[in-house]
Amino acid sequence: MAAELWEIRDFIAEVPAFAELPGKVLDALPRRLTVRYLRRGRPFPPPDAEPGLWIVRSGALAVREPDGRLREKLGETDLYLDAPQPTEPEARGEDTAETPAVAVVEDSLLYQLPLPAFEDLLEAHPVFAWRFERSRRERLERALSELGQGGRPEALMAATVEALRRREPITASPAIPIRQGAEIMTEAQVSALLLVEDERLVGLVTDRDLRRRCLAAGVSVDSPLREIMTESLITVAPTSSAFEASLLFSRHNIHHLPVVAEDGALVGILSTSDLLRHQGTHSIHLVRDAMAAPDLEAIARVGSRLPDLEAQLVAIGAEAEPLGEAMVTVTDAMTRRLTELAEQALGPAPVDWAWAALGSQGRREQTAFTDQDNALILDEAFDPAQHGEWFERFAQFVTEGLAAAGLEPCPGETMATTPDWRQSVAGWARTFRDWIEQPEPHSIMLATNFFDMRVVAGRDSLLDALWGTVRPLARSNTIFQRRLANNALAIRMPLGFFRRLVVVDDEQHDDRLDLKRYGLMPIADLARLHAVSLGLPELHTVRRLQAASAAGGLSASAAAGLVDAWRLFYVLRARHQAAQARRGEPLDNRLDPDRLSGLERDHLRDAFRVVDDHQRWVRAPFDVSGTR
């Protein structure tokens, strides 16, 4: 092969769509290519060219929508297929675009693979065909599968609960005396006893229950075990992953999980010790340390370990939702412990309260790099004159503790230290009513955060009462929903990558990709919009989209595409932060395009387009006018 053809062959091998083709196929490709040099301003595709696949070697092409809006800018190694393509099904939540116009905006050197040769590759090589014959959603599913590979076989993600369970369950009747139950536990050398009645699991007694509920409480050891047992049990399936079990341990701050099969049969019990024998460092450790922290310094030490936890979870191949859940369980534990320490320092609260997390913590979507957004919901007995100072000091204590643990104060002061964000249930109801009935831009900005409220500590019923008023009000107000939709369209998705830059539009080219601003936030805004318009209680972005689809708010295909895009952005963000932690760098959300492979750039382009399509589709059902 001539030197020129070898050089073309080596270039083609660097193009992601061709990279996995066999060497012999790559060797033969240069002879099937047509080389074209097009001056700036020339029509594209050239009028004399046959249909085929175009590969940009140098220069630039601009792809525009029929209305003139820039859709994509193509540079070196990018592809443009000038041929009929399978169309993705039009469904509720998916926008269908007309054929774009393409212009040569720089003098360009291009290779063209004629349509028959292109079709030969599609037929002979499924790995090549996947890039062109599948929908963006299917390509995103594959991207997530590829990102999940590489975890160690012994990793927490790979093991099942059944694999970690060490022995058959030790059971007893809840009617036997406490003394006899303690003897059974001692003889079997177990720290928990499963209580069964009529072949049905009815309760659990642990060695801690024996100490606290029997000895310390003065209950006779001749009383039946049912008097000290835990009845409302959290259980786990034997087929669940050890990672799922670890989240249950962490979230509920428990040490034993009964293992129950799908048919209700008792299989055994899993303890935190079983899990820790398998995987030494995990969120369970951090939750334990947080809940036992004696002071703010100890809380700060727990917070300082969050980047290491994120890096470890990334290394074992944790998926997006479990990774976020693991991070939030630690943040929640630190928050709960800080509220306990605050009450120890200030004395008992004068009225009942609920500490609510907002934003990514409220939605259970945090990473190690985050700030704090929170609020206090107070009982109707709250009197600002009598109780205001206590709750001001309480909020100050907790937020300062979170800041010491690495959760920076919110730049917009959306925190419980702000008097407006410490209100009774009735006060909060009035605030939400004002936002909904007078949806000005500032009100909408605040509402987007506060519709993500979740109680972390205190009385859950206070927030439940508030949602009982607010959600029906928001669901019935179409003007509020329209303004919420406008907010969800405020961030325009990037078009892709051009050379070393992120292309946002004709004028804006950034040297970093902010994965929060240009990835996670727009999808969270769309999911919140659907949840509010349908009156749904879900908070997590993925669960909001899935619930909205089930309720008919958008198609299953559109919801799945947005979910996959969200997961891709989240995993890439977590990987980026894990790499920064390993290098000892400050964490951020801004990814250097130079660190992306060509395939990752292609995956991100697909994700951008999925979100952009839904943003455009949203305009009609929510009556949003104007162009972006």
Quick: pLDDT tens for 391-401: 999 999 999 99
545: phi then psi, degrees, rounded to nearest 5: -65, -45
User: Of the candidates 576, 612, 592, which has an alpha carbon nearest to the alpha carbon of residue 495?
Assistant: 612
| Dmax (CA) of the chain | 97
Most confident of 19-23, 551-555, 581-585: 551-555
Q: How far is CA 233 from CA 230, 236, 252, 256, in A?
A: 7, 10, 11, 10
- Beta strand segments in 39-191, E: 43-44, 52-64, 70-74, 79-82, 101-114, 171-172
Greater pLDDT, 153 or 47: 47
Residue 57 or 216, more confident: 57
pLDDT tens digit sequence for 455-494: 999 999 999 999 999 999 999 999 999 999 999 998 888 8
Tokens representing 19 are 């990279």
What are 44-70's pLDDT values in tens digits?
999 999 999 999 999 988 888 777 778
Single-letter code of the amino acid located at 352: D
Least confident of 33-47, 64-78, 529-543, 576-590: 64-78
Q: Which domains does the chain have, with CATH numbers?
A: 3-133 (2.60.120.10), 156-278 (3.10.580.10), 468-618 (1.20.120)
Could you tell me the CA-to-CA distances from 357 to 181, 185, 215, 399, 403 in Å, in that order? 41, 40, 37, 11, 14
Q: Tens digit of pLDDT for each residue in 272-311?
A: 777 666 554 467 778 888 988 999 999 999 999 899 888 8
Strand partners, 388: none
Please tell me the predicted confidence (pLDDT) of residue 375: 97
> Has residue 386 got a pLDDT over 60?
yes
- Which residue matches tokens 């004002």? 434
Average pLDDT, whole number, for the chain?
Answer: 86
d(CA 124, CA 201): 57
Bridge partners (DSSP) of residue 497 are: 502
Q: Is 359 left (phi over 0), alpha (psi -120 to 50) or beta?
A: left
User: 428-459 as b/e, with b when 16 or more CB fall inside 10 Å?
Assistant: bbebbeebbeebeeebbebbbbbbbbbbbbbb
Q: In this structure, are residues 568 and 578 in contact, taking their beta carbons and an 8 Å threshold?
A: no
pLDDT in tens, 509-550: 577 888 999 899 999 999 999 999 999 999 999 999 999 999
**Beta-strand (E) ranges in 533-596?**
590-591
Q: Decide: pTM greater than 0.85.
A: no
